[in-house]
């Protein structure tokens, strides 16, 4: 019970420290806002950017070959990166994982249906309702005067309503992490790692106030006190993580849809490792300023491994740090749980 009492008062003391509250709660939200807006500005499509589009023509007859010639023209090549796809399934998967923005599919029998005056369609798979690929397909349809032959996939509309439509099939965006989601997970993890200062300060303050010397002759004992402090700091950091999860979801619309048990356990284990590491650093350094410097440096080094993974540019320089980086493992687990990422991305 004495360890629980110490944990209780440790939690109260931590949440009364408004400066540390700003570091762990307000600063991450501010950074997510800044980085999110910057990412939107930087990655906002413009007329000078190349849009990646997958393309598969299973028809290969006269009408569809006209679309092949359109895609091969220099005007299209200036704005679109047309990537050949070998199957419909692969094209849809490429849209889901974000390697292409859209996938255009012309089914077998397309030209024959047009020649017979029958309804047919060109399928456009995308999670962007304003995809430039849609304008590209509609331009081709208008050029051959087949508006009435194009239908909206999975629609109950009449044929008149279909006359100027593209057969567009939406690919759920939940399967594709946005840049804001990636940055949110990583920023939260990096600021939670600063919570290791809670553990180091508990040890250092005990040394400065000769608390450990007094504990040696008290009935409580040094181990019980350290256990209570560890538990209290762990609870503080874990509560902070959960609050950040809800706040980023409500304020910024960050995607936390997934197995919530795994997500919560990920934050719990990350907090446990962070507090334990902070207490070890505090015991070794015995100085507040030095412990802060060590934690900041570790956060930069280990956090960069997660950062390189989030942007898909993990190279030989940072790859060795992934083996010891709690940021990297936590980020991969969160991304796998929420978006169904590849399990083999975790190093063994």
- Do 293 and 310 share a domain, yes or no? yes
DSSP-derived 3-state class of residue 106: strand
| Last residue in a domain, options 156, 174, 192 | 174
Do 100 and 186 lie in a common domain? no
Query: What are the backbone angles phi and psi of residue 54, rounded to the nearest 5°?
Result: -85, 150
Pair (153, 10) in one structural domain = no
> Rounded to the nearest 5°, which phi and psi values hold at 53?
-130, 130
Beta-bridge partners for 82:
53
Beta-sheet strand order (sheet of 167-170): 80-84, 51-57, 102-106, 123-126, 167-170
Within 13 Å of residue 231, how many CA atoms lie on the same side as its CB? 15
Question: Nearest Cα to 147, choosing from 159, 164, 127, 134?
Answer: 164
Cβ–Cβ contacts within 10 Å for residue 330, how many?
Answer: 24
Give the count of domains, the chain: 2
Instruction: Evaluate whether residue 12 is within a structural domain.
Output: yes
Same domain flag for 283 and 294:
yes
Q: Is residue 322 part of a domain?
A: yes
Q: What are 109's two structure tokens?
A: 């029998």
Last residue of a domain, one of 128, 150, 174: 174
> How far is the C-alpha of 257 from the C-alpha of 294, rounded, in Å?
35
Same domain for 230 and 304, yes or no, is yes
Distances (CA, A) of 331 to 176, 262, 325, 328: 15, 12, 10, 5
Tell me, yes or no, whether 226 lies in a domain. yes
Three-state secondary-structure class, residue 324 = coil
Classify residue 59: in a domain, yes or no: yes
What parts of the chain have a pLDDT lower than 50? 40-48, 146-166, 172-174, 341-348
Kindly state whether residue 45 falls inside one of the protein's structural domains: no
CATH (domain of 124):
3.40.1710.10
Residues 150, 34 within the same domain? no
Cβ atoms of 169 and 153 within 8 Å: the answer is yes
Last residue of a domain, one of 174, 194, 227: 174
- Write out the H or E segment, with its range, that includes residue 80: strand 80-84
Please state, as a whole number, how many other Cβ atoms lie within 10 Å of the Cβ of residue 178. 18
Residue 63: which of 107, 117, 27, 112 has the closest Cα?
A: 112
| 162 shares a domain with 62 | yes
Q: Is residue 209 a part of any domain in this protein?
A: yes
Residue 56 contacts residue 88 (beta carbons within 8 Å): yes
Please indicate, yes or no, whether residues 181 and 151 belong to a single structural domain of this protein.
no
Residue 296 lies in domain: 2-40+177-345
Strands 167-170 and 51-57: unpaired
Task: Classify residue 73: in a domain, yes or no.
Answer: yes
Residue 211, Cβ density class (10 Å: 0-12 exposed, 13-18 middle, ≥19 buried): middle
d(CA 235, CA 332): 23
* pLDDT recorded at residue 138: 77
Q: Single out the residue of 40, 276, 52 nearest to residue 178, CA to CA.
A: 40
Query: Closest by alpha carbon to 193, among 15, 24, 34, 329?
Result: 24
Same domain? For 14 and 76 the reply is no
Q: Are strands 123-126 and 102-106 parallel, antiparallel or unpaired?
A: antiparallel
pLDDT at 233: 93
Asked whether residue 217 falls in the same domain as residue 334, the answer is: yes
**Same domain (yes/no): 34, 183:** yes
Are residues 66 and 82 part of one domain? yes
H helix runs in 253-323, sequence order: 260-285, 288-310
Question: Between 326-339 and 179-193, two packed helices, what is the crossing angle to 10 degrees?
Answer: 140
Express each pLDDT in 278-300 by its tens digit.
999 998 998 889 999 999 999 98
CB 53 within 8 A of CB 83: yes
Residue 46 covered by a domain = no
């Amino acid at each position: 019970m004495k360890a629980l009492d110490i944990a209780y008062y440790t939690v109260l003391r931590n949440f009364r420290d408004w400066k540390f509250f700003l570091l762990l709660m307000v600063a991450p939200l501010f950074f997510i806002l800044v980085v999110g807006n910057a990412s939107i500005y930087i990655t906002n499509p413009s007329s000078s950017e190349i849009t990646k589009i997958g393309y598969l023509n299973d028809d290969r007859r006269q009408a569809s070959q006209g679309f092949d010639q359109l895609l091969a023209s220099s005007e299209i090549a200036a704005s679109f990166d047309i990537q050949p796809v070998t199957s419909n399934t692969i094209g849809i998967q490429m849209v889901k994982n974000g390697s292409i923005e859209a996938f255009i599919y012309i089914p077998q029998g397309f030209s024959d249906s047009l020649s017979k005056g029958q309804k047919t369609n060109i399928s456009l798979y995308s999670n962007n309702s304003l995809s430039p690929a849609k304008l590209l397909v509609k331009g081709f349809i208008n050029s051959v005067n087949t508006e009435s032959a194009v239908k909206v996939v999975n629609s109950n509309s009449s044929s008149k309503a279909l006359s100027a439509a593209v057969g567009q099939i939406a690919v759920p965006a939940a399967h594709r992490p946005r840049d804001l989601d990636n940055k949110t997970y990583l920023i939260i993890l990096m600021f939670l790692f600063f919570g290791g200062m809670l553990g180091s300060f508990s040890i250092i303050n005990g040394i400065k106030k000769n608390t450990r010397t007094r504990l040696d002759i008290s009935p409580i004992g040094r181990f019980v006190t350290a256990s209570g402090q560890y538990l209290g700091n762990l609870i503080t950091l874990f509560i902070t993580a959960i609050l950040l999860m809800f706040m980023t979801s409500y304020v910024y619309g960050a995607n936390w849809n997934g197995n919530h048990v795994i997500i919560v356990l990920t934050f719990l284990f990350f907090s446990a490792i962070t507090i334990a590491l902070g207490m070890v650093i505090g015991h070794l350094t015995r100085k507040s300023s030095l412990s802060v410097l060590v934690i900041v440096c570790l956060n930069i080094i280990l956090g960069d491994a997660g950062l390189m993974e989030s942007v898909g540019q993990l190279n030989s320089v940072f790859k060795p740090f992934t083996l010891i980086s709690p940021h990297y493992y936590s980020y991969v687990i969160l991304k796998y749980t929420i978006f169904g990422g590849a399990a083999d991305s975790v190093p063994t």
